[in-house]
Amino acid sequence: MAQAMQETIIVTATGAPQDRDESGQAISIIDSATIDRSQSWSVGDLLARLPSVRVNSNGSLGAVTGISLRGAETGQTLVLIDGVPVNDPGSTADAVDFGNLLVGNIRRIEVMRGSNAVPYGSEAIGGVIDISTRDPDVPEGLSLRGSAEGGYAETMRGTADLGWRAGELRVDAGIAGLRTDGISSAATRFGASERDGLENWTAHARIEAPLGAGLSLDLRGYAIDATLDYDSFFGAPADSADTSKFRQATGYAGLNASSFGGVLRSRLSVTYLGNRRDYRYAPDGPVEFGYRGENWRIDYRGQMAAAPGVDLTFGYTHDAPNYRFFGFGSDERHEANTDSVHGMLILKPTSRFSLTGGVRHDSHSAFGGVTTFGANANLGLADERTRIRFAYGEGFRTPSLYQLYDTFSGTSDLAPERSESYDLGLDRRIADGRGRVSLTLFTRTTRNQIDFDMATYRYANLARTRAQGVELEVSVSPVDSLDLALAYSFVDTRDRSPGSLNYDRHLARRPVHGISASVDQRWWFGLATGVSLRMASDAVDPVAPAGTLDGYVLVDLRASLPISEHIELYGRLENAFDTDYETAYGYATYGRAAYGGVRVRI
């Protein structure tokens, strides 16, 4: 008899723990073993290995980096760090700058692709990226994990994470630091040569404490302090002495309760996000302009086992973001409030079939209400190896405070962006349960998309876009010592704005084809070796003289060797063939670079 698929717990489908085989959503997981094997610094680099993820960077490590899921705008992806939404209320479109987000002590990343506003609300048009520092495998007692490495461009990086566990009581705290001279953010072919360095410090802390009688306390904090040299240019790319300072602080305080013999599980949380961005024309100069963005959130979520095979999830959320911009003779502040309620019904009439449906209503202080729906299903076939998925989702994005209220370009009567997406997928266990293949067909239409109107020099609901494509993800370990992974995506994004001069043209900086592949081998004497390949096809970039960016292929090599039970040496060669490429016209990317270091785990 065939073996059943191994249970994998996800949280992004409903906002609560759920077996992946009970969800119709397209979800990828980057676990701690994958993160360790990759040796990556950048969260953007890790995400680029997944299907339908496109990464654009404005130069050196730490420079502005945008993530697009299935061709959506960068502000149309919801990002959470340890349960706190970190989309920036102080940015023009609520986008997250992944240049500031380094791997550090991150232990798991979950990516849900497709519109799914019901459990999350605004921004979840392209999907949701859920990032966690929680180590699920922390042992009883005291534990220590650390690393130190160095390499190209006078780069130094170190991490340290200290944990303590006694049953259900967990305490964890860590810090990560990176300093590098970097590369010139402006492409060197324009004569730019000044290196743009980065210094980034990231810290986190977490306490999970049982309070008795089905009650527990969950406290979390995350902070980033980053100083970046960057090149700011209008016209031909060139060196400049500009610097930026980014500070982020998040906090989470949650109370979890289990009532009526576990029939009802509740979570009440208060979260905080605070971002500060300051910009100088010279490292020692005064702050010329800056942005402040904050958001306080109160969130209640309940999950009730209403009957055998029937679960109900429901919740209420209150968001209170505020925004400040100062500089160029201006100092303005704005705020808004959103109150939201949602409910989802999860039906499991048989062990092989599950059906989920839900509705959400958000009431915004500026434009009124938005109602969204979603439904998905997952069916296991009789062979016990194959599952069929279907998902329908609606999404929306609230206009940012900048787009609504900026003195020079804001439009106070903007409507929210809206989307509809459909997924049809197949998951199949292969190699006698040692591997998994996932294939997904998707389409998404976004309307009322906010764009800058060159006729009025203000933001307006001008755009309509369509994205459709195919995603393939394969992971298999044919033997215990060998891991193989492949991801391919075809993402066709089009401008469908009525009357647009660019009607039916591909959206900018979104390669149609993307491939990522990796092979990792653990040898009998302890050495582990790996190779990764990443390919992107040509992409439209209207700023480029030819209107396009050339495609590229990147190859990375890596190795690690344990020298004792607690110590491991490792090293990698990035862009091994020194490929010259760009993800945004005029901005440089790293050539061949080597790094090495040591890991300690006690």
CB-CB contact of 225 with 201 (8 Å): yes
- Strand positions, DSSP E, 381-434: 386-397, 417-430
Quote the CA–CA distance of 468 and 506 in Å, as a whole number. 12
Per the structure, the count of domains in the chain is 1
End-to-end CA distance of the chain: 41
Quote the CA–CA distance of 155 and 483 in Å, as a whole number. 29
Query: What does the buried/exposed string (b/e) look like for 478-504 if buried means 16 or more CB atoms within 10 Å of the residue's CB?
Result: eeeeebbbbbbbbbbbbbbbeeeeeee
**Predicted confidence (pLDDT) at residue 333 exceeds the cutoff of 90:** yes
**Closest CA relative to residue 182, chosen from 195, 192, 171, 170:** 195
The 3-state secondary structure of 463-477, one letter per residue = EEEEEEEEEEEEEEE
In a domain, 1, yes or no: no
In a domain, 182, yes or no: yes
**Predicted confidence (pLDDT) at residue 1 exceeds the cutoff of 70:** no
**Predicted confidence (pLDDT) at residue 6 exceeds the cutoff of 60:** no
Strand, coil or helix: 153 = coil
In a domain, 352, yes or no: yes
Quote the CA–CA distance of 175 and 121 in Å, as a whole number. 31
Query: Residue 265 is part of a domain; what is its CATH number?
Result: 2.40.170.20
Average pLDDT of the chain is 95
Residues 6+ apart with CB under 8 A from 53: 47, 67, 68, 69, 111, 489, 514
Give the amino acid at 293.
Answer: G
Strand pairing category for 127-132 and 77-81: parallel
Strand, coil or helix: 404 = helix
Q: What local confidence, expressed as pLDDT, does residue 18 receive?
A: 86
CB-CB contact of 184 with 196 (8 Å): yes
Say which range, 78-82, 131-135, 421-425, 485-489, has the weakest mean pLDDT. 131-135
Write out pLDDT tens, residues 249-305: 999 999 999 999 999 999 999 999 999 999 999 999 999 999 999 999 999 999 999
In a domain, 2, yes or no: no
Q: What global pTM score does this model have?
A: 0.96
What range defines the domain where residue 185 resides? 9-601
**Predicted confidence (pLDDT) at residue 587 exceeds the cutoff of 90:** yes
In a domain, 41, yes or no: yes
Dump the DSSP string for 2-49: PPPPPP-EESTTTSS-EEGGG--SEEEEE-HHHHHHHT-SBHHHHHTT
Per the structure block, which two tokens stand in for 528?
């582990």
In a domain, 384, yes or no: yes
Compute φ and ψ for 138, nearest 5 degrees: -65, 130
Write out pLDDT tens, residues 199-234: 999 999 999 999 988 999 999 999 999 999 999 998
In a domain, 133, yes or no: yes
Quote the CA–CA distance of 95 and 403 in Å, as a whole number. 13
**Closest CA relative to residue 376, chosen from 7, 22, 5:** 22
In a domain, 201, yes or no: yes
Residues 6+ apart with CB under 8 A from 414: 367, 399, 403, 404, 450, 459, 460, 461
Rounded to an integer, the average pLDDT of 508-524 is 97
Q: What local confidence, expressed as pLDDT, does residue 2 receive?
A: 37
